[in-house]
Chains A and B, each alone.
Chain A
C-alpha cells in the first residue's frame, strides 16, 4: 500500500509559482501518480498524471525523480481561484482494478492577493 504524505497547508501570493511535494516511499512498479484539485463541496478535478520524469500540460507540471519516491506538482503563476485542496493519488487503475488507490492527506493551498 503506497502511503502518501503531503504538507498540510501552503500560502502563496498571486502570480507566484507554487510547488507541492508528495512523498510515496513504497510506490509500486505499476503505480501512476495523479494530482487532483478540490474546492469545497465539489468532487476532485483531475490536474495532471505521470509515471516518471516530467509531465507538463496547460495548467501544471509534474516532476518525478528517478526513484519515484516523491513527486512535485508545480503551478505556475497562481491566482486567487487556485485556492483549493490539492491531493496526490498513487495507484494503478489502468484495467479498472484500482489496486490500492490511496489519496494523500491533501494540501490546502491559499493564494493571497
Chain B
C-alpha cells in the first residue's frame, strides 16, 4: 500500500469556525509533512513531523495547529482562518530513516475555502 489518504476532499469554512484536516498512511513511514499550495504555485512546506515529533515549523501562523497522534496519522487543526488561507493542503510522508529512501508520497489534498 503506497497510498496517503486525506479527508475531507473539500472543505468550506467561515473565519470563526474550527475544523480539522486528516491524513493517514500505512507504509510505516516515520516522517510526515503538511504543505500548502496556492493556485498555479508550487507547494510550500508548513510542518514536518519526524517520529511523531514536530521537527520543522516553517513560521506558520498559530491559527494552523498540527498534531501527530501516532505514526500513521497527521492532523491539521484550523481556527480563525482568513480568506487568504484558501488553498490546497497536501499531506506527504517519507520513510524518514537516515540514509533511507528520500522520496515523499503525497496525498490528493484537501481543497480548503475560507469564506
Interface stretch of the complex, out of B14-22, B59-67, B76-84, B92-100: B92-100
Residue A101 is within 8 A (CB to CB) of chain B in the complex: yes
Chain B residues with Cβ below 8 Å from A105 are 41-42
Interface size of B in residues (CB-CB distance below 8 Å): 33
Residue A77 is within 8 A (CB to CB) of chain B in the complex: no
A87 to chain B, nearest CB (A): 6
Chain B residues with Cβ below 8 Å from A36 are 106
Partner of B106, one of A41, A44, A97, A106: A44
Interface residue ranges of B2-56 to A (CB < 8 Å):
4, 30-31, 33, 41-45, 48-51, 55-56
Partner of B56, one of A45, A87, A98: A98
- Measured as residues with beta carbon below 8 angstroms from the partner, the interface class of chain A is 20 to 34
Chain A residues with Cβ below 8 Å from B43 are 44, 87, 103
**A95–B97 contact, CB under 8 A?**
yes
**A43–B106 contact, CB under 8 A?**
yes
Report the bound CA distance from A96 to B109 in whole Å: 21
Residue B103 is within 8 A (CB to CB) of chain A in the complex: yes
Chain A residues with Cβ below 8 Å from B45 are 98, 101
Partner of A93, one of B44, B51, B104, B108: B104
Report the bound CA distance from A92 to B90 in whole Å: 19
**B96–A41 contact, CB under 8 A?**
no
Given contacts A34-B103, A98-B31, 6 further A-B contacts (CB under 8 A): A93-B102, A94-B98, A96-B30, A98-B45, A98-B48, A105-B41
Residues of chain B touching chain A, judged by Cβ–Cβ distance below 8 Å, are 4, 30-31, 33, 41-45, 48-51, 55-56, 88, 90, 92, 94, 96-100, 102-109, 111
